[in-house]
Amino acid sequence: MDTIQLLMDGFSSALTLENLLMAAVGALVGTFVGVLPGLGPTSAIAILLPLTGVLEPTQGIIMLAGIYYGAMYGGSTTAILLNIPGELSSVPTCLDGYPLAKKGKGGPALGISALASFGAGVLGVIGLVFFAPILADQALKFGPPEYFALMLLALTLMVSLSGGSLIKSFLMGAFGYTLALVGLGPSSGMPRFDYGVSQLMGGFDMISIIIGLFAVTEVLKGIEERRAGAVIAKTGSVYPGKEDLKKSAAPMLRGGLVGFFLGLLPGCSAAITAFLAYDLEKKVSRQPEKFGNGAIEGVAAPEAANNATSSAGFIPLFSLGIPSSPPLAILLAGLMIYGLTPGPVLFEQHAPFVWTVIASMFVGNAMLLVLNLPMVWVWVKLTRVPYGIMAPIILMFCTIGAYSVRNSMFDVLVAFLFGGLGYLFHKYKWPVVPLVLCFILGPMLEESFIHTMAMGAGDISIVWSRPISLVLLIAAAALLVISILLNRRTNQRVKEERERGMDVA
């Protein structure tokens, strides 16, 4: 197997001092931007792209790739300790990570999240080594009808995620989709709901809404609770115990696989796979009620999924030049600047470069693990800072993060507006997750529907006459039925318990 030989050669050059340094710098910068809310890998790589002018191609790409998966790591740290998802893909991590931190189990949660990220990252890279040429071919088979069915499946999962009232989550989902309608129509190119305001023509940006709903809302809640410093009394050791490891092993594997295989599809972002992995764990769990109240499985699965997805994204990028996410699109720009046009030809013409970068991903992932576990204390110390000091600092980062998306004050306004809304949602118990998911998936569903109709000349039957999309549709329908039945069963059980005189709210 000459692939192994090539990989070994890659390691020998990835382990040179300069390249190790580049991987370390990338990992650290990535973790740092991952920790800052809203300043995600996309903006970080974009800001640092000019550096490629001074660095050698291999070093430049190693550093940019390091930032990319470092940011995925960093996002989970603040998600767990402060309920602030650094980026979208860390939102599911908040759901159980933060309750764990509140119980004083922030340390093990961080440890598990780092382990899950590392394991899934390595899994993704192994996949990259062996499957790149084969899998890239499969990704092409996913046409608009398949995406349409996939989105339906994802939205069906969302219905079962919210846990609260079905009606409320539907309404919030509809609200999220309505927000996504603002801007230029994906197919017509006509402005919708812009009321003649030029900023609205560009639509709402996902990141500013996320920063608002999660980070700004959190600050408002903190102010209301007159939160003292040291929110988290004890984080506990960051090295998880046997019990936690045992519980997390299977979710890590499942999350990693979900993240990896869906991550091969262009447009299936780490956020989507992280949510899917979380929902899957909730579905297979014997105690779904634990989720949302500090289940370690709810940290392991999405963390494994989002890192597996970010590694898997390199497969369509290197083998076909298809970036499946914004940060990868900028990495593609980096490759192009160096004159390294991705494609199978890249593997032939620039084999040393490709394999050095792949080897450096192993190195970078290991570095992240080594750097991050000791660094956790730094973040924990951050949480001990009095809230009166923390709140303005967090708001400053929110402002910078929202501004850096499109360099516009409009996004900052949006972030603060949604901060206020998010606070009200929280107060009156309206779930925000369906809003966020529909905001992301809604436009994709719409676009794939329009593409499908154009392909089928206005005949929708194309969706169920193709094997892959048919399977996805059946899965979506089955899930819908199952979740309705499960809901009924739960309500039934609550009623029974009430009749027995239990005090169930």
Partner 1 sequence: MMSFLMAVSVSACGAKDTPATTQGAPTSAQPAPSEPAPEYPTKQIEYIVPYSAGGGVDLVARATADYLSKEWGQPIVVVNKAGGGGAVGAEYALKQAKPDGYTALAVNVSNTTMLTAGMLNSPVKNEDQIYTSRIGKGTLAFAVKADAPWKDFAEFSQWVKAHPEQLTWTSVGPAGFSAFGVAEWLDAIGADFSKTRMIVTKGASDSVPKVAGGHAVLAVHTIGEIMPMLQAGKVKILAVSGQERSPFLPDVPTAEELGIKGLTVFWWTGVSFAKGTPDYVIAKWQESIAKMEQDPAFVKKLTDIQVENDYANSTEFNQDVNRETAYYTELATKKNMRK
- How large is the C-alpha radius of gyration of the chain? 22
Q: For residues 3 and 341, which CB has a smaller minimum distance to partner 1 in the complex? A: 341
Distances (CA, A) of 393 to 101, 281, 371: 21, 35, 24
DSSP assignment of 151-216: HHHHHHHHHHHS-S-HHHHHHHHHHHHHHHHSEE-TTT--EES-TT-HHHHT---HHHHHIIIIII
Stretch binding partner 1 (CB under 8 A), from 210-218, 355-363, 447-455, 487-495: 447-455
Buried b (16+ CB within 10 A) or exposed e, 50-73: eebeebebbbbbbbbbbbbbbbbb
202 near partner 1, judged by CB under 8 A: yes
What is the distance between the alpha carbons of residues 221 and 132, in angstroms, rounded to a whole number? 46
User: Cβ closer to partner 1: 267 or 288?
Assistant: 267
User: Judged by CB under 8 A, which of 3, 5, 16, 341 binds partner 1?
Assistant: 341
Residue of 222, 342, 422, 431 that binds partner 1 (CB under 8 A): 342
- Within a 10 A sphere around the Cβ of 409, how many other Cβ atoms? 12
Tell the smallest beta-carbon distance from residue 481 to partner 1 (Å): 30
Contact partners, residue 95, CB within 8 Å, separation at least 6: 278, 291, 292, 298, 433
Query: What is the rounded distance in angstroms from the CA atom of residue 301 to the CA atom of residue 1?
Result: 33
Distance CA 254, CA 249 (A): 9
Q: How far apart are CA 108 and CA 98, in angstroms?
A: 12
Nearer CB in complex with partner 1: 189/501: 189
Choose, by CB under 8 A, the member of 166, 250, 329, 417 that binds partner 1: 329
Round to whole Å and give the CA distance between 326 and 448: 19
406 is a site residue for partner 1 (CB under 8 A): yes
Q: How far is the CB of 354 from partner 1 (least distance, A)?
A: 14
**Is residue 181 within the footprint of partner 1 (CB under 8 A)?**
no
CB nearer to partner 1: pick between 219 and 322: 322
Closer to partner 1 by Cβ: residue 184 or 370: 184
> Residue 304 Cβ, how far from partner 1 at the closest point, in Å?
27
By beta-carbon proximity to partner 1, the closer residue of 178 and 408 is 408
Of the candidate residues 20, 126, 230, 337, the single one contacting partner 1 (CB under 8 A): 337
Measured distance CA(72)–CA(41) in Å, rounded:
8
Q: How far apart are CA 272 and CA 255, in angstroms?
A: 12
CB of 143 or CB of 164, closer to partner 1? 143
User: Would you count residue 375 as binding partner 1 (CB under 8 A)?
Assistant: no
Per CB under 8 A, 470 contacts partner 1: no
d(CA 353, CA 46): 22
Q: Is 338 in the site for partner 1 (CB under 8 A)?
A: yes
* The residue count for the chain: 505
409 binds partner 1 per the rule CB under 8 A: no
**How near is the Cβ of 224 to partner 1 at its closest, in Å?**
28
The minimum distance between CB 186 and partner 1, in angstroms, equals 7
Cβ contacts of residue 464 below 8 Å, gap of 6+?
A: 470, 473
Chain centroid offset of residue 373 CA:
21
- What kind and span of H or E run contains 427? helix 409-427
By CB under 8 A, the residues from 262 to 281 that bind partner 1 are 266-267
Q: How far apart are the first and last CA of the chain?
A: 62
Residues 33-92 that bind partner 1 (CB under 8 A): 33, 36, 39, 44, 46-50, 53
Number of residues that bind partner 1 (CB under 8 A): 60
Binding status of residue 468 toward partner 1 by CB under 8 A: no
Q: What is the footprint of partner 1 within residues 133-162 (CB under 8 A)?
A: 139-144
164 near partner 1 (CB under 8 A): no
Q: Which is nearer to partner 1, 426 or 451 (CB)?
A: 451
Does 345 participate in binding partner 1 (rule CB under 8 A)? yes
- Binding to partner 1, residues 233-262 (CB under 8 A): none
- Per rule CB under 8 A, is residue 344 in the interface with partner 1? yes
Distance CA 174, CA 155 (A): 11
The reply on whether position 215 binds partner 1 by CB under 8 A is no
Positions in the binding site for partner 1 (CB under 8 A): 33, 36, 39, 44, 46-50, 53, 139-144, 183-184, 186-191, 198-199, 201-203, 266-267, 319-323, 326, 329-330, 332-333, 336-339, 341-345, 400, 404, 406-408, 450-451, 454-455, 457
